[in-house]
């Protein structure tokens, strides 16, 4: 009975959404076009190299050597010695990179389902470049404020790691990992990064359509424009860059949104993981990280906020992102790499 009710409810929602998409086709098309440009001009250029390099680090076993330099960090966090590189890279390279690395470790047999679902709980975070430029400079005129938001998120992840990984240990199968590099690994990593990016961009486009339908609801909320943008960041994290008026009172809320990453990024993470392991602990951890990050940001603002405000001068950005041609060339290269792999595989068969 519950299954029939669920199916009926989902069918009704999808039908209603289809009707709304038809009625609002003009606005949806415009928003989807903007999302497509964002994928080509921002997402692909900024994430592709990181995701390919992260996959190569896992495949070659180089993460074990890098992690040896981070032994004090892994001991503090309660992580295995070889997980330090994964934690550091995933918290600084951009939100989907951690999911990509842990999925690659799972595919290579370096980690089991239970440990993977635990490790991804805190191997997740936005890079300092986004928070310092798109939030710190663009909104507050101070890269220091952006760095404070970034630090509040990574500190929240560290606190969670200290607690979670001691109660629920993570185990890595490093004895099975041979550290070596071969010429085949590079095209494999490029292909893997390309496939993940296409799935991410597809999710961004879909989510933009959903946001187009929800935007009239957000517009009717009895909130200031800045507060509305900060709330929308829990749906789509890039909304933080649209906050106006240097609202310092919203910094804890913005830090919470930055730690959570937004529903769109969570869905991107689910797409990358692809059902390999459960994300339920991850969702609970992100809610806890958002609360912790808000509290940490409030404390940091009380301690260092005056200095950050004194040094801030909000600039006017005249930026024209023109990565279209390089991004198209990159997409063609990915297709050629995947095609080359397919032809080589057919020859071997």
Q: Token digits for 74?
A: 């892994």
Q: What is the pLDDT of residue 320?
A: 45
Q: Which of 349, 323, 259, 270 is nearest to 44 (CA)?
A: 323
pLDDT digits (tens, 9 = 90+) for 176-192: 556 677 777 888 888 87
C-alpha closest to that of 86 among 49, 111, 113? 111
C-beta separation of 269 from 279 below 8 A? yes
Q: Is the pLDDT of residue 319 over 60?
A: no
pLDDT class for 1, splitting at 50, 70, 90?
A: low
* Cα dist from 161 to 76, 190, 220, 316, whole Å: 9, 31, 39, 39
| pLDDT at residue 76, as a whole number | 94
**For position 233, what pLDDT does the model report?**
84
**Greater confidence, 273 or 49?**
273
Can you read off the two tokens belonging to residue 212? 């187009």
- Reported as a single tens digit per residue, the pLDDT across 253-288 is 999 999 999 898 898 899 889 899 999 999 999 999
Give the mean pLDDT of 315-339. Answer: 51
Residue showing tokens 């829990």: 234
Two tokens, residue 31? 């928003």
């Amino acid at each position: 009975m519950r299954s029939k009710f669920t199916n009926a409810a989902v069918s009704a929602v999808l039908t209603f959404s289809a009707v709304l998409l038809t009625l609002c086709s003009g606005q949806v098309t415009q928003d989807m076009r903007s999302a497509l440009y964002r994928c080509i001009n921002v997402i692909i250029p900024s994430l592709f190299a990181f995701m390919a390099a992260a996959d190569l680090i896992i495949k070659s076993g180089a993460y074990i050597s890098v992690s040896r330099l981070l032994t004090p960090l892994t001991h503090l966090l309660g992580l295995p010695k070889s997980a330090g590189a994964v934690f550091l890279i995933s918290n600084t390279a951009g939100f989907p990179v951690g999911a990509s690395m842990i999925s690659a470790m799972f595919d290579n047999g370096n980690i089991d389902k239970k440990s993977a679902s635990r490790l991804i709980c805190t191997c997740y975070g936005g890079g300092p470049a986004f928070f310092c430029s798109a939030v710190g400079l663009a909104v507050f005129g101070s890269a220091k404020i952006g760095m404070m938001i970034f630090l509040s998120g990574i500190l929240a992840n560290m606190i969670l790691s200290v607690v979670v990984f001691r109660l629920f240990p993570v185990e890595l199968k490093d004895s099975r990992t041979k550290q070596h590099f071969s010429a085949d690994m590079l095209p494999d990593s490029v292909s893997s990064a390309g496939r993940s990016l296409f799935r991410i961009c597809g999710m961004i486009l879909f989510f933009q359509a959903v946001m187009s339908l929800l935007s009239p609801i957000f517009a009717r909320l009895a909130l200031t424009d800045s507060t509305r943008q900060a709330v929308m960041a829990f749906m789509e994290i890039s909304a933080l860059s649209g906050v106006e008026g240097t609202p310092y009172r919203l910094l804890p809320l913005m830090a919470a949104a930055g730690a959570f990453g937004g529903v769109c990024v969570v869905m991107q993470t689910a797409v990358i993981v692809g059902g390999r392991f459960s994300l339920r602990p991850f969702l609970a951890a992100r809610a806890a990280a958002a609360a912790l990050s808000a509290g940490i940001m409030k404390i940091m603002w009380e301690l260092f906020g005056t200095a950050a405000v004194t040094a801030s001068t909000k600039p006017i950005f005249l930026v024209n992102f023109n990565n279209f041609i390089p991004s198209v060339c990159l997409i063609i290269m990915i297709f050629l790499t995947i095609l080359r792999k397919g032809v080589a595989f057919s020859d071997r068969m």
